Amino acid sequence: MDFFSIADRGLLVILPEPTSIENCYRFLKAAFLRRLQHLGRTLGHQPIIDLVMRHRARAGLGRPWEIMEEIRRVDSCVAETLEGQMEGFLPHLIVNQARDHQDVRLGDAMQIASERFLGIPLRFAGAIPYDPVLVRSVKSRRPYMLEYPRSRTSESFRAAAETIDSAALGTALAGATGLLDPRGAARPIPFPRDPYRILDLPAGAAPAAITEAYMRLRSALRSDSPALLSLDCGYERRLALAEVEEAYRILSRNVSAGSPRMDPPAARSAPRIAAHPFLPARPRAVTLL
């Protein structure tokens, strides 16, 4: 746990199974809190963190973004310092033994769920397909990528390594929106209101990219999505899905309003071509009665 929390690039490898997904979220929250405690001791903010953690169970603070928001209420300067230091906490995720497209999409859905409902940035590095040859290679203690360098599994390993190596450090906690929870208390939900940012798109994205992002988020935020296991985020999920639907509606309307109107071309008669003096005239159509 300590090595993971202080590592430059933390890597989580899961199986596309409910227990593995649940353990992944538990490990993420524990690693986040361990790093927070380490920063508190290093920067001299341990008394404030201890104060918040003592009241954690009584106040119902179970998610990392809720704990950070409570620290902000106690001391906003300390919260800004901790958030700046926590930007380096950017774990990567690999889905191992993926057997179908649903297993591959699981990693992307978990990235969305972790960022929006836990406040922890998680980057999906890729999926490794299930390969029985890999199992035999491990048992025989022979390097798989040297034996089968051009296989689909080897290509997936290389793609995941390149993704992890080239990933840029992002913001650890997203800005708060101050939405309300069912009990009426003002609680921030970690996703912005800007339509493009809600869909995780740059401003001015193409219509095809908007549709693709909308379908991706809608699939990840379904009530039966396996990426939402053990998160207990039913209310937040409905709010997030409503914002995604509204953002897509706004952007689709803007694209439709901004597209140039294409009027149908006016019907024109075919130009008359003069007969060539040295070619015989085309025979006329004759209707037989």
Would you kindly state where each structural domain of the chain is located, as residue ranges? 2-252
DSSP tag of 114: I
CA distances from 81 to 4, 72, 120, 211, 224 (A): 21, 10, 17, 37, 38
pTM value?
0.72
pLDDT value at residue 24: 94
Residue 96 near residue 126, CB atoms below 8 Å: no
pLDDT value at residue 106: 95
Opening angle at CA 8, ends 7 and 12, nearest 5: 65
pLDDT value at residue 58: 62
Nearest alpha carbon to residue 91 among 18, 200, 4, 20: 4
pLDDT value at residue 84: 85
Residue 16 near residue 97, CB atoms below 8 Å: yes
CA atoms within 13 A on the CB side of 32: 26
pLDDT value at residue 280: 41
| Residue 257 burial (10 A CB sphere; 0-12, 13-18, 19+) | exposed
Token reading at 71:
């620290």
Listed in order, strand segments (DSSP E) in 201-259 are none
Q: What is the pLDDT of residues 21-43, one digit of tens each?
A: 999 999 998 888 888 888 888 88
pLDDT value at residue 60: 57
pLDDT value at residue 12: 94
Which stretches of the chain drop beneath a pLDDT of 70? Answer: 56-62, 167-192, 255-289
Token reading at 235:
């209310």
